[in-house]
Structures are given as C-alpha cells and as structure tokens.
Amino acid sequence: MEKEVTGAGARVLEILREAGAYLEGHFKYTSGRHGSVYFEKIRIAQRPDLVDETGRMMAILFDDLRDAIDVVVSPAFGAIVFGFSTARHLARPFAFLQRDGDGRMTARPGFTVLAPGTRALLIEDVATTGGSLLESIEALREKGVSVEAAGLLVDRTGGRLELPVQCRSLLSVEAGSWPSESCPLCASGVPLSTPGSSGRKP
C-alpha cells in the first residue's frame, strides 16, 4: 500500500496507525483470501473518541443524501460502532444485522425502524471482496428496505467493488489479496494468522 493517501483517507490511515489497527504480515481474511495487510478495527472500537471522529467523517461523506436516508444499518459485529456513530452524526435511527444459526445474514429482530419502504444507509468497516455488503443488501431487501448507498471505513479494492448500490469510502487502498492456493506468502513459508471472526460459516 504505497500510493499516497490524501484528504479524509489520510486521517483514517492516521487513526488506524494511532490505534495500532494497521497490521502487516500474512493474514487470512473473512472472505478466505490471504493478504499482507490487516485492519484490526476492534482496536479503534476501544477508542470512543476515534469512533466518534470516523462517524462524523462518514456523516459528512453522505451529507448530500441525508434527506434520502431514514435509518443507518451495519452488519454485526465489527461495523456496529462505526454505523452507530454515523447514525448519531446524521441524526438518524440505527439498526444492525446479524448472522443466524446457519451463518446467514438477517435483520436483527426487534428493530421497528426496518419497516418495508424504509430507506437505509449501509455502513461497513472494511471490504475485501464485498461479500458481506452483498449479503447485507439482500437481507435488507428481503424486509422491503431500500438500500440507498453503502459506506466503508476502508475499501481494500481501491474502488473496484461491484455493488448494486452506490458505494463511498473514507479510505480507498490497493491492498493486494490472493486465493489461498496461489498466495505468494504461503509459498514463501510466512506464518499465517487468522484474526477476527464474523460468524460466517466456511
């Protein structure tokens, strides 16, 4: 990740490093792919001041859509604090999604704000393939909720995510990842770490 980062992205990168959330090594991501950079978001979640700052930046990023958003939604668990903070700064209600016993993303029972016809802003922390975002969009659409846009703390694809809704990110980086069978770090014998877990079944 050598390309110069400017603007809000530079501050997010600074926040990641300040919180010790920017890690380098050999990692297995939730998607199953391997890579050399990992963003340990939980370390930011331990800093309410930094979470509040990222939520404020995300709200600014979507200020032009404020009137088109009824609720902010995030998938459990890592993105919840970032989505909640964004909702606070947009002055909108918040809801979250979670995985059921089969590992399928579903709307958390009890959130009356997720009624049919509701317009949602979906907030995720880090995206490598966009799989969690696609699952979340589908889960919301099954409840009749319209996803107006998706926001990311970090887009690891450098803006190449393909989603059925518009997507904006605070930090967009080219952080390479590879299928496990063709991972150069595996071939070099670099020890593999598997940080974090979203509850997704293999």
**Residue 147, domain member (yes or no):** yes
Residue 68, number of CB atoms within 10 A of its CB: 12
Is 106 part of any domain?
Answer: yes
Domain of 55: which CATH number? 3.40.50.2020
End-to-end CA distance of the chain: 28
3 state SS of 121: strand
pLDDT confidence of residue 5 = 67
Question: Residue 64 belongs to what domain range?
Answer: 7-187
Q: Does residue 193 fall inside a structural domain?
A: no
- Over its C-alpha atoms, the chain yields an Rg (Å, rounded) of 16
Q: What is the pLDDT of residues 137-187, one digit of tens each?
A: 999 999 999 999 999 999 988 888 999 999 999 999 887 789 999 999 999
199, pLDDT greater than 60: no
Report the C-alpha gap between 96 and 80 in whole angstroms.
7
Q: Which of 143, 141, 139, 133 is nearest to 163 (CA)?
A: 133
**198 found inside a domain:** no
**What is the total count of domains within the chain?**
1
- Read off the pLDDT of residues 47-90 as tens digits, 9 standing for 90 and up: 999 999 999 999 999 999 999 999 999 999 889 999 999 999 99
